[in-house]
Amino acid sequence: MHSDGPNDERGLSQQIAVTREPEQAGEDIWAKDKVFEVNDVTVSYGKKPAVRDVTMDIVRNEVTALIGPSGCGKSTLLRCLNRMNDLIPSASVEGEILYHGQDLYGHKVDPVQVRKMIGMVFQKPNPFPKSVYDNIAFGPKVLGMKDIDERVEKALHGAALWDEVKDRLDDNAYGMSGGQQQRLCIARTMAVEPEVILMDEPCSALDPISTGKIEDLMAELKEQFSIVIVTHNMQQAARVSDKTAFLIVELDATDENRWGQLVEYDETGKIFTNPQDSRTEDYVTGKVG
């Protein structure tokens, strides 16, 4: 396994590319608190790798976007960060993912404990078939937290949903619009006070207005949380994220196996205006994908 200090020579690995030179201002953009250090990670389903040899750091209180064409393994990668992949029996993770320096896949690590600290919002809004209140109260209750009412209200404020639902906390969440449901899911995640929120294409099932609301929300949320978002929408990545990782689909010579690979990871502005890799440029300018 790849031992890794903060100044390790990542450039050696063929897949690129994390540009590590300091900016003109002299600020090392990677020197902030790192939440995750992903080192040489390969995720496979059965024997087939879904995404290979990814190395990247994710920084605290920022929005990090994973973009790329479908099948590039961005969701797979995201799901490794809070061990949701454990739910798929055939999935296996090689390499190392450090969460504040602790190996996320270490022998003694408990996935339940991991998910308390690293929450997740899914592609399709998935509220529980219960009241708005119960949806949010569920997490704090099972985690044995106190002051449930207060937490519910706080979380609804946090997700900018309070004014819309304060009079119908007892209504079934299935009666809400898709956008409200998704913000409810975000509120539900906030209520258990995680440190990181992972978002798996959170707006792909929503209309533009709801999408706008959630994007606005993200800008506020990053003050309190670190956010990793998977999106197929490049404009969205450009709007909301501080850093962007671009993944592509690689094929082997026989054309039978395909897997995702990290091409470039940098500040969002750079990825979209001055990418180092021509494949990134082709993608963000809409030539391919």
Partner 1 sequence: MASQSPTPGTERARLATAGARAVTLDSLSNQPKSDVWKGNIFLALLLLAVTLALAGLAAIIIQAAVEGAPAFSTKLLTNGPSTVNPEEAGFRPALVGTLYLILGVILLVVPLGVSAAVYLEEYADGTKWWNRTIELNVQNLAGVPSIIYGILGLAFIVRGPLDLGFILAAGSLTLALLVLPTVILASREAIRAVPPSIREGSLALGATQWQTIRRQVLPAAIPGVVTGVILAISRAIGETAPLLLVGAATFVTFNPTFLGDNGYTALPVLIFNYASRPQDEFRILAAAGVIVMLIVLLAMNAFAVWLRNRYEQQW
Partner 2 sequence: MEARDSIGAFGQRGAARPLPSLEAPSHRYGEKLIKVLLGACALLSVVTTTAIVISLLIPTIGFFTEDNIGITEFLFGTSWAPTFQPASFGVLPILVGTLSTSLWGMMFAVPIGLASAIWLSEYASPRARKVVKPVLEVLAGIPTVAIGIFGLVFLSPLIDDIFPFMVNVPPFSAGIAGLAIGLMIVPIIASISDDAMRSVPSGLREAAYGLGATKLKVATRVVFPAAISGVIASLVLAGSRAIGETMVVLLVAGASPNLTFDPGSSVLTMTAFIGQTATGDISTGSITYDTIFAVGSLLFIITLILNMFAIRMVRKYREVYE
CB nearer to partner 1: pick between 41 and 192: 192
Kindly tell me which residue out of 13, 19, 44, 61 binds partner 2, with binding defined by CB under 8 A: 61
Residue 158 binding result from partner 1, partner 2, none, given CB thresholds of 5 to 8 Å by partner type: partner 2
Q: Which of 52, 59, 101 is nearest to 80 (CA)?
A: 52
Q: How far apart are CA 203 and CA 172, in angstroms?
A: 22
Report whether 237 contacts 51 (CB < 8 A): no
Among 6-14, 15-23, 47-55, 99-107, which window interacts with partner 2 (CB under 8 A)? 99-107
CB nearer to partner 1: pick between 124 and 279: 124
Rounded to 5 degrees, φ, ψ at 45 are -105, 115
Residue 275 binding result from partner 2, partner 1, none, given CB thresholds of 5 to 8 Å by partner type: none
- Does 153 participate in binding partner 2 (rule CB under 8 A)? yes
Quickly count: other Cβ atoms within 10 Å of residue 84's Cβ.
21
- Backbone region of residue 151 per phi and psi (left: phi > 0; alpha: psi in -120 to 50; beta: other values): alpha
- Does 32 participate in binding partner 2 (rule CB under 8 A)? no
> C-beta of 159: minimal distance to partner 2 in Å?
9
- The count of residues in the chain is 289
CB nearer to partner 2: pick between 102 and 285: 102
Q: Is 249 helix (H, G, I), strand (E, B) or coil?
A: strand
Which residues is 131 bridged to in the sheet? 172
Q: Is 117 helix (H, G, I), strand (E, B) or coil?
A: helix
- Torsion on CA atoms 268, 35, 82, 127, rounded to nearest 10: -60
Report whether 151 contacts 141 (CB < 8 A): no
Site string for partner 2, 103-142 (x = CB under 8 A): -x-x-xxx-xxx--x-------------------------
Q: Which of 68, 99, 38 is nearest to 282 (CA)?
A: 68
Q: Burial-class residue 128 by CB neighbours within 10 Å (0-12, 13-18, 19+).
A: middle
Among 7-15, 166-174, 220-228, 243-251, which window interacts with partner 2 (CB under 8 A)? 220-228
- The CA angle 27-275-226, to the nearest 5 degrees, is 55
- Does 157 participate in binding partner 2 (rule CB under 8 A)? yes
CB nearer to partner 2: pick between 117 and 205: 117
Binding footprint of partner 1 on the chain (CB under 8 A) = 82, 84, 87, 89-90, 112-113, 115-117, 119-120, 122, 124, 126-129, 138-139, 142-143, 185, 188-189, 192, 194
Residue 189 binding result from partner 2, partner 1, none, given CB thresholds of 5 to 8 Å by partner type: partner 1
Residues that bind partner 2 (CB under 8 A): 33, 61, 99-102, 104, 106, 108-110, 112-114, 117, 153-154, 157-158, 160, 162, 190, 193, 195, 220-221, 223-225
